Structure 1
Amino acid sequence: MPDLSFQVESVESVRCAAAPMLNFKLHIASAIAGDDIANVILQCQIQIEAPRRRYQPAEQERLRELFGDPNSASQKIHSLLWTHVGLLVPRFQNDCVVDMPVPCSYDFNAAAVKFFYALEDGKVPLLFQFSGTIFYRDENTGLQISRIAWSKEAQFSLPVPVWQEMMDHYYPNSAWLRLDRNQFDRLYQYKRQHGLSSWEQAVESLLDGVEENLP
Structure 2
Amino acid sequence: MPDLAFTVEHAEVAPFAAAPLLLFRLRVTSAPAGEAIASITLQCQVQIEATRRGYAPAEQDSLEDLFGTPQRWGETLRTMLWTHTSMVVPPFDGECTVDLPVPCSFDFNVAATRFFHALQEGEIPLLLQFSGTVFYRNADDALQAAPIPWHKEAAFRLPVQLWRDMMARYYPNGAWLCLHRDVFDRLARYKTQRGLASWEHAVARLLDGVEEDIS
Instruction: Within 5 Å, give how 1:1-215 maps onto structure 2.
Output: 1-72=1-72, 75-140=75-140, 142-209=142-209
- SS where residue 27 of structure 2 aligns? strand
Q: 1:73 to 1:21 in 2, by over 3 A?
A: closer
Q: 1:129 to 1:74 in 2, by over 3 A?
A: closer
- SS where residue 22 of structure 1 aligns? strand
Contact in 2 for aligned 1:29/1:96 (Cα 8 Å): yes
Deviant stretches of 4+, over 2 Å: 71-76
The residue type equivalent to 2:101 in the other structure is P
C-alpha distance in structure 2 between counterparts of 1:199 and 1:44, whole Å: 38
Number of corresponding residues? 211
Higher mean C-alpha displacement, 17-26 vs 66-75 = 66-75
Q: Deviations over 1:171-195 (max 9, x none)?
A: 0000000000000010001001111
- Measured after TM superposition, the shift of residue 28 of structure 1 is 0.2
Contact in 1 for aligned 2:35/2:139 (Cα 8 Å): no
Q: Deviations over 1:38-72 (max 9, x none)?
A: 00000000000000000001101110111111234
The residue type equivalent to 2:6 in the other structure is F
- SS where residue 195 of structure 2 aligns? coil
- Measured after TM superposition, the shift of residue 35 of structure 1 is 2.4
Contact in 2 for aligned 1:69/1:75 (Cα 8 Å): no
- Measured after TM superposition, the shift of residue 2 of structure 1 is 0.4
Q: 1:55 to 1:73 in 2, by over 3 A?
A: closer
- TM-score of the two chains, using structure 2 as the length reference: 0.95
Higher mean C-alpha displacement, 60-69 vs 156-165 = 60-69
Gapped regions of structure 1 (runs ≥ 5): none
C-alpha distance in structure 2 between counterparts of 1:201 and 1:10, whole Å: 41
Gapped regions of structure 2 (runs ≥ 5): none
Cα RMSD of the aligned pairs, angstroms, is 1.4
- SS where residue 209 of structure 2 aligns? helix
Q: 1:147 to 1:73 in 2, by over 3 A?
A: closer
Q: Percent identity among equivalent residues? A: 57
- Measured after TM superposition, the shift of residue 34 of structure 1 is 2.9
C-alpha distance in structure 2 between counterparts of 1:93 and 1:72, whole Å: 50
Contact in 2 for aligned 1:129/1:153 (Cα 8 Å): yes
- SS where residue 78 of structure 1 aligns? coil
C-alpha distance in structure 1 between counterparts of 2:181 and 2:86, whole Å: 33
C-alpha distance in structure 1 between counterparts of 2:64 and 2:41, whole Å: 39
The residue type equivalent to 1:132 in the other structure is G
